[in-house]
Amino acid sequence: MATNQDFVDFIVDQINNAGQIRTLKMFGEYGIYSDDKIFGLICDNKLFIKPTEAGRVFIGEVTEAPAYPGAKMSFLIENQLEDSEWLSELIRLTVRELPEPKPKKKRKKTKD
């Protein structure tokens, strides 16, 4: 089951004061970013957040699951999706702990 756009829009609308939130469609599902940091995935209408120590402490009893077969374990967020303040704080804590994205390599031009 692929994620529907209404669910993606709902998640983005729930997150406040956590940077510029955007999504990028990837293989039929979505990566979710704060500014240029990817902090989670939206797959099969479920929200998966990259695990961090601050996020683990904030959540308390964590449910972990892979976003897709073969993926690393992530925090699966289910019950708090409608709590905008809670979700926004989790994202702020997570993004603070994630490393800065690596600079993109410039492509070399090839001669024809």
Which of the 8 DSSP states describes residue 67? S
CATH code of 36's domain: 3.30.1460.30
Look at the chain and report how many structural domains it folds into: 1
Q: What is the pLDDT of residues 11-57, one digit of tens each?
A: 999 999 999 999 999 877 999 999 989 999 999 999 999 999 999 99
Contact 48, 59 (CB under 8 A): no
- 70-82 pLDDT per residue, tens: 999 999 999 999 9
**72 DSSP assignment:** P
Residue-number span of the structural domain to which 20 is assigned: 5-97
Q: Please report whether residue 109 resides in a domain.
A: no
Q: Evaluate whether residue 104 is within a structural domain.
A: no
* Maximum Cα interatomic distance, the chain, rounded to a whole number of Å: 57
- Is residue 30 assigned to a domain? yes
- Structural domain contains residue 111: no
Q: Give the tens place of pLDDT for each residue, 91-103.
A: 999 999 998 888 7
- How far is 102 from 88, CA to CA, in rounded Å? 24
- Structure letter (DSSP) for residue 71: P
